[in-house]
Homo-oligomer: A and B are copies of this chain.
Amino acid sequence: MIEDKNQQRTPLSDLGEFGLIDHLTKNFKIKQSSTVKSIGDDAAVLDFKKNKIVVTTDFLVEGVHFDLSYMPLKHLGYKAVIVNLSDVYAMNANATQVTVSIAVSNRFPLEALEELYAGIETAARIYNIDVIGGDTTSSMSGLLISVTAIGEVEADNEVYRSGAKVNDLLVVSGDLGGAYMGLQVLEREKEVYKVNPNNQPDLEPYTYIVERQLKPEARKDIVKLLKDLDVKPTAMIDISDGLSSEIIHICKQSNVGCDLYENKIPLDPQVISTCEEFNVDSTTIALNGGEDYELLFTINQKDYPKIKANPSLTVIGYIREKEAGMHLVTRADTKIALKAQGWKNFND
């Protein structure tokens, strides 16, 4: 589906390992004052003064996490950074640096890696982070990307999954289920394309959800918003595996239960219409879809007036005693126990 516009195909063996890293990162600018030394030595050197740091890492594997038949390499580079930044923001921290390592088979020419790194550079520029290191090696098959993200947080401002208290409100940013439905549309168009390669897909009715899948954003703005509103969440997590799974993480680690209200779950109209088209239940998609990279957090009820008017935030439930369990309260006012479906990579 993605046309290969690269006329040029330079074999990676023309550059060698040292030449490749230098070539791919030569346009990367240092933006963070905490970056003392970036790429070019045995290790990067960082100075966070008295701040604490947060560290998170994610692996993206071709054929498991992405499909290059509809994922442009530039978007992939962007997304590989974003999914890691999302974890940093979920700690209530400010993302500052990433390392990016790739393993790549010989079927990729240099121009493909340049596209990938253009996406990485774009994410670094927009989110104001430095790419401070990485490793570039060959793989036996396909493309694998391992990113480690680092952030900083002032004394005791970090937010764990474990701090939710009974009667806290459960709040989510943005809307849910879009990334998963975008993936369903792309998978369907791929099948159509396989049957008839001349059939150009019309993705116009799906622009929002396809973008949610191919070019997600991390909610740096929400971390800033909460700070500006003087709201410190009691617990926070990013939604990478689906709302249900993330709520369960917070409840288990906080030793509490919760009621989640089905009619409060924020859904974009495009998600609703696409769910109807695919004949799937939109609540199920929001609960288990994954890859939305929104933030889920809990706040003390006294902070409710500060957030209630904000269009980016939706109160979707509240925290209860552990003994009450973790439930979805349906539109029909029945209670269903929450289950973690999430992403299962090791399914046979």
A52 x B41 contact (CB < 8 A): no
**Partner-binding segment picked from A197-205, A300-308, A338-346:** A338-346
A56 and B42 within 8 A (CB) = yes
In the bound complex, residues from chain B placing their C-beta under 8 Å from that of A160 are: 37, 41
A65 is an interface residue with CB less than 8 A from chain B: yes
Question: Quick check: which of A89-97, A165-173, A179-187, A316-324 contacts chain B, the rest being far away?
Answer: A89-97
Residues of A111-150 contacting chain B, CB below 8 A: 132-142, 144, 146, 148-150
Q: How far is the CA of A47 from the CA of B155 in the complex (A)?
A: 9
Q: In the complex, what residues of B have CB within 8 A of residue A343's CB?
A: 17
CA distance A43 to B344 in the complex (A): 21
Report A37-56 CB contacts with B as 1/0, cut-off 8 Å. Answer: 10011111111111011111
B54 x A43 contact (CB < 8 A): yes
Separation of A99 and B56 alpha carbons in the complex (Å) = 8
Nearest to A347 among chain B residues (CB) is B13
**Are A253 and B45 in contact, with the CB atoms below 8 A?**
no
Give the residues in chain B near A13, CB-CB below 8 Å: 344, 346-348
The answer to whether A87 and B137 touch (CB under 8 A), given A13-B346, A53-B48, is: no
Contact between B47 and A52, CB atoms less than 8 A apart: yes
- Residues of B within 8 Å of A139, CB to CB, are 61, 64, 144
Q: What are 5 A-B contacts with C-beta separation under 8 Å?
A: A41-B162, A43-B151, A50-B50, A57-B101, A103-B144
Residues of chain A whose beta carbon lies under 8 Å from any beta carbon of chain B: 11-13, 15-18, 20, 36-37, 40-50, 52-59, 61-65, 87-88, 90-91, 93, 97, 99, 101-103, 106, 132-142, 144, 146, 148-151, 153, 158, 160-162, 236-238, 253, 340, 342-348
